Amino acid sequence: MGSCMGFRPVSDLSFDKRMTVDDIVGRIKDGMTIGMGGWATRRKPMALARAIARSDLKDLTLVAPYGGPEIGILAASGKLKKLVFAFASMDQIPIEPHFKNARQAGLPVLELDEGMAHWMLRCAAMKLPFLPTRVGIGTSIIEQPGFATVKSPFEDGEELVAVPPLKLDIALIHVHRSDEKGNVLVLSPDPFFDELLARAADEVYATAEKIVSTAELDMRANARFNLFERSVLTGVAEAPFGAHPTSAQPDYEIDMKHLKTYVASAETPEAWEAYRQQFVAVDADAYLAAVGGADAVLASPRPVY
């Protein structure tokens, strides 16, 4: 907190940043580079992914360093021109099946090491032209376009990989709580790199399980759960169960039953169309009813890793 990274001019600030999910999707334009936060099956902005899948958007470059079903839904819906990722997994389900289908069908990608993805986001967040790293040395990763080497200016003279900034037009994340001003809390022990995604982006939008008053956030006690200054956030939409079927612990756990249904939808085009009609081409209330309702989501057991 308190860093100048991600600073937004005062003229851009609003005291009420509340929007709807559709409002947020309306800010995305064809051809944009968008980043999506979370990790595999944890705190993915799935309500936003489904809304994008329902939209007319096309030719998106998706940056999902630690990807999960958001990749698969957008790939299966034909929204992606390119994918930048470090992995695409659903934890207990090792490979995201729609990602696998899209990759085998020739979806262009920039595949990164996890550490390299982290460093490239940090480079963009710090507004630097490159950052040096040893990650990638001796691998084919740095044979992809966009990488170079740089020699240390100090006595060691070490040759390092120079990674470029991973800049985003828009970052999309899911949080547990927010107020209307854009103060957000991530209450689970997994903030991962959502802060860097946000700071690497020109605009940042969040869905929140609940939008509450600033007093209810109790920022004095919960400052450690605040990802970034409120000036970083452009807008926030309340979206209960907005990470489902991924988790938003402590509010709810991963819905492995539904993820198995999702995996089965990758088996044939007909299976995907049936899944899409039931779970994607519907509004939030119909989606929640289709997955069994709030009580069923809240009853999902904690997974064992």
Same domain for 53 and 63?
Answer: yes
Q: What is the pLDDT of residues 121-136, one digit of tens each?
A: 999 999 999 999 999 9
Which range marks the domain in which residue 158 is found? 129-163
Find the CATH number of the domain harbouring 189.
3.40.1080.10
- Specify whether 133 is located in the same domain as 277: no
Same domain, 32 and 107: yes
Q: Are residues 56 and 170 in the same domain?
A: yes
* Same domain, residue pair 188 and 249: yes
> Are 240 and 144 contained in the same domain?
no
Task: Note whether 235 and 189 are same-domain residues.
Answer: yes
DSSP the chain: ---STT---GGG--S--EE-HHHHHHT--TT-EEEE-SBTTBS--HHHHHHHHHSS--SEEEEEEEE-HHHHHHHHTT-EEEEEEEEE-BTTBSS-HHHHHHHHTT--EEE--HHHHHHHHHHHHTT-S-EEESTTTTSSGGGSTT-EEEE-SSTT--EEEEEPP--EEEEEEEEEEE-TTS-EE--SS--TTHHHHHHTEEEEEEEEEEE--HHHH-HHHHGGG--S-GGG--EEEE-TTTTTTSB-TTS----HHHHHHHHHTTS-HHHHHHHIIIIISS-HHHHHHHTT-HHHHHTPPPP--
Task: Tell me, yes or no, whether 248 lies in a domain.
Answer: yes
Q: pLDDT band at residue 3, thresholds of 50, 70 and 90?
A: very low
273, part of any domain: yes
Query: 148 and 194 share a domain?
Result: no
Domain-embedded: residue 202: yes
pLDDT of residue 245: 98
pLDDT in the model for residue 10: 44
Domain count for the chain: 2
Residue-wise pLDDT tens digits, 27-82? 999 999 999 999 999 999 999 999 999 999 999 999 999 999 999 999 999 999 99
Average pLDDT of the segment spanning 106-134: 96
5 or 287: whose pLDDT is higher?
A: 287
pTM over 0.85: yes
